[in-house]
Amino acid sequence: MLSWALTFFVVAVIAGIFGFGGIAGEAAWIAHVLFVVFIILFLISLVRGRGTPSV
């Protein structure tokens, strides 16, 4: 998921350089949402831990 966020960030930067403001804004928004979801899932996995080992 982090790779998708980085991909959309790169798309936003490239679109911004070439002057496509609408596309750049949307790609940046998608990247931001994906990054927030990644952070939330990462924190949940830290709190839950690995759990009990299987026997």
Length of the chain: 55
Query: Would you say residue 39 lies in a domain?
Result: yes
**How confident is the model at residue 38, as a pLDDT?**
92
Tens of pLDDT, residues 9-31 = 899 889 988 888 888 888 889 88
Query: 14 or 50, which is more confident?
Result: 14
Mean pLDDT of the chain: 86
Query: Would you say residue 54 lies in a domain?
Result: no
**CA angle, residues 44, 10, 32, in degrees to nearest 5:** 35
**How confident is the model at residue 36, as a pLDDT?**
93
Query: Would you say residue 7 lies in a domain?
Result: yes
Total number of domains in the chain? 1
For residue 45, the Cα-to-chain-centroid distance in whole angstroms is 16
pTM for this prediction: 0.72
Interval 21-49 mean pLDDT: 89
> What are the Cα distances from residue 42, in Å, to 1, 32, 37, 49?
11, 15, 8, 11
Host domain of residue 23: 2-48
Q: Could you tell me the sign of the dihedral formed by the alpha carbons of 7, 9, 10, 12, in that order?
A: positive
